[in-house]
């Protein structure tokens, strides 16, 4: 039975990846320090003999006994308000954490896939973004802690590939959404749906003309799975090229939820990218992959999941208390 270690397992994407690898007949080791994740995302797997959970901060040290065939490094805060609150942890997990996991992969002769991001393109001057674009990142701006750590992660991963001959894969993930997103993580989809469900106005940052391209989680997981099993070490964009303005997106959520609330405008965050859309030519050619789920369908499934949450979660407006982690 192939054995895979998934970091960030209790998070949104990590937990869906655990499900997929379990379904494919892997033994799955999930690792997470729960800084932004939630054990509820993994509850259904606990007790399954093919699943083990390790509560561990991968920035400090990573050890697992026995063989490992694959590692997926998905641990990292991923929402702008998370990484603004815990900037040092964010820098550490994609730099020191990545180094630890590359070392483990080398030691175990495992193939490793790292979760990079469209944020490495910063506020892009090339549109849509192709993998050969180097990006436009402000290293000392508020988003720099995430963007630069992910850029370092790519660089370190490539160095292990060229210098040590390690089998590595780099996925550049664009905005992904679906069930198990944290309602209060600040990302635009849970923010809008949460506001609609609570009967609040939807907060658009800026004038709403900035664009994003949203990929449903099942499509993302399929792309990651195919990339892992491919033989392509260069970065590959995984995302949905269907681009939409945030203003239009708010209108879609209003229609979907039937809320009678309106939109209100708030200041745009510093360095918030103006446009984002993946060029997925490479993924199509190399992996024979492209997204299948239409936004209307994906949003409906996601909304139904949010609707099924207990009422008290809806009103738990307070963001995570990171105090314990900040000391580390």
258-287 mask for ligand UDP (x: CB under 6 A)?
----------xx--x---------------
CB of 80 to ligand UDP, least distance (A): 5
Give the helix, strand, coil percentages of the chain, each rounded to 5.
40, 20, 40
For 126-161, b/e burial (b = at least 16 CB within 10 A) is eebbebebebebeeeeebbbbbbbbbbbbebbbebb
Q: Please provide residue 236's backbone torsions phi and psi, each rounded to the nearest 5 degrees.
A: -130, 130
Task: For residue 216, report the phi and psi dihedrals to the nearest 5 degrees.
Answer: -75, 145
CB of 68 to ligand NAD, least distance (A): 16
Please give the span between the terminal C-alpha atoms of the chain, in angstroms, as a whole number.
36
Indicate if 163 belongs to the active site: no
Out of 33, 98, 175, 176, the residue judged to bind ligand UDP by CB under 6 A: 175
Residues 161-200 that bind ligand NAD (CB under 6 A): 173, 175-176
What gap in Å lies between CA 39 and CA 291, rounded to an integer? 28
Q: Is 188 in the site for ligand UDP (CB under 6 A)?
A: yes
Q: Which does 121 bind (CB under 5 to 8 A by kind): ligand NAD, ligand UDP, none?
A: none
For residue 161 the two structure tokens come to 């590939």
Nearer to ligand UDP, 205 or 322 (CB): 205
Q: Does 299 bind ligand UDP (CB under 6 A)?
A: no
User: What CA–CA distance (Å, rounded) separates 220 from 235?
Assistant: 15
State the CB neighbour count (10 A cutoff) for residue 275.
Answer: 18
For the CB of residue 199, give the shortest distance to ligand NAD in the complex, in Å.
26
Q: Which of these is catalytic: 70, 146, 160, 303?
A: 146
Restricting to residues 131-170, name those near ligand UDP by CB under 6 A. Answer: none
**Residues in 105-164 that interact with ligand NAD by CB under 6 A:** 115, 117
Structure tokens at 291: 């997204």
Of 4, 45, 58, 254, the one binding ligand NAD by CB under 6 A: 58
Residues designated as active site: 146
Site residues (vs ligand NAD, CB under 6 A): 7-8, 10-14, 32-37, 57-59, 74-78, 93, 97, 115, 117, 173, 175-176
């Amino acid at each position: 039975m192939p054995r895979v270690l998934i970091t960030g397992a209790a998070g949104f994407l990590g937990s869906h990846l655990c499900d997929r690898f379990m379904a494919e007949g892997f033994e799955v080791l999930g690792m997470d320090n729960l800084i932004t994740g939630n054990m509820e995302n993994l509850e259904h797997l606990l007790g399954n003999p093919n699943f083990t959970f390790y509560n561990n901060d991968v920035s400090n040290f990573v050890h697992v006994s026995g063989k490992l065939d694959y590692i997926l490094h998905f641990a990292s805060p991923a929402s702008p308000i998370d990484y603004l609150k815990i900037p040092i942890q964010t820098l550490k997990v994609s730099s020191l954490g990545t180094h630890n996991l590359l070392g483990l992969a080398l030691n175990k002769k495992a193939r490793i896939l790292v979760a990079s991001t469209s944020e490495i393109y910063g506020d892009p001057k090339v549109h849509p973004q192709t993998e050969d674009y180097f990006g436009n990142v402000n290293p000392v701006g508020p988003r720099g802690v995430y963007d630069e750590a992910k850029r370092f992660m790519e660089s370190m991963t490539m160095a292990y590939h060229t210098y040590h001959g390690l089998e590595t894969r780099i996925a550049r993930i664009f905005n992904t959404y679906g069930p198990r997103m944290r309602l209060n993580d600040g990302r635009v989809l849970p923010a809008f749906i949460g506001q609609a469900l609570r009967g609040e106005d939807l907060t658009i940052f800026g004038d709403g003309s900035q664009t994003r391209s949203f990929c449903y989680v099942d499509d993302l997981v399929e792309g990651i799975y195919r990339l892992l099993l491919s033989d392509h070490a260069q970065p590959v964009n995984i995302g949905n090229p269907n681009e939409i303005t945030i203003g239009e997106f708010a209108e879609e959520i209003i229609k979907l939820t039937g809320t009678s609330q309106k939109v209100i405008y708030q200041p745009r965050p510093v360095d918030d990218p103006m446009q984002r859309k993946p060029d997925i030519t490479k993924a199509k050619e190399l992996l024979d992959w492209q997204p299948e789920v239409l936004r209307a369908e994906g949003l409906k499934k996601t909304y139904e999941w949010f609707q099924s949450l207990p009422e008290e979660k809806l009103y738990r407006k307070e963001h995570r208390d990171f105090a314990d982690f900040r000391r580390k």
